[in-house]
Amino acid sequence: MRKSYNTAFKSKVALEAIKEQETIQQIALKYDVHPNQVSQWKKQLPDNLPATFERPNKKREEERRLEQERDQLLRTVGELTVVNEFLKKNTASITGKIRND
């Protein structure tokens, strides 16, 4: 069975690995984690560090903006669908009248 670690634990282990006061092997033994896992978390830490300083609401704002954009696109698609159906019906009735004449 695979072990699952929370982000606080991963951060703690990765931070110790970055400090390089102990070897990866020592840290792995200390926390009962495979050395490869410690190395992987150490590599991931710099990439994920900027998210630490983001405003908590920034993602929500971005999600709201994307949701509004999606809603607007769906409204536009709906309107265009109605117009398309209207034009199909009117074109059919016009071409049908011309053929019948």
pLDDT digits (tens, 9 = 90+) for 31-78: 999 999 999 999 998 888 877 777 767 667 888 889 999 999 999 999
Q: Is the pLDDT of residue 86 over 80?
A: yes
Q: Is the pLDDT of residue 99 over 60?
A: no
pTM flag (> 0.75): no
- Determine the Cα–Cα distance for residues 71 and 51; give it in Å rounded to an integer: 28
Q: What is the pLDDT of residue 1?
A: 75
For the chain, give the mean pLDDT: 87
Q: Are 34 and 28 in contact (CB under 8 A)?
A: yes
> In Å, what is the CA distance from 101 to each residue of 19, 59, 88?
89, 62, 20
- Determine the Cα–Cα distance for residues 80 and 85; give it in Å rounded to an integer: 9
Q: What is the pLDDT of residue 25?
A: 96
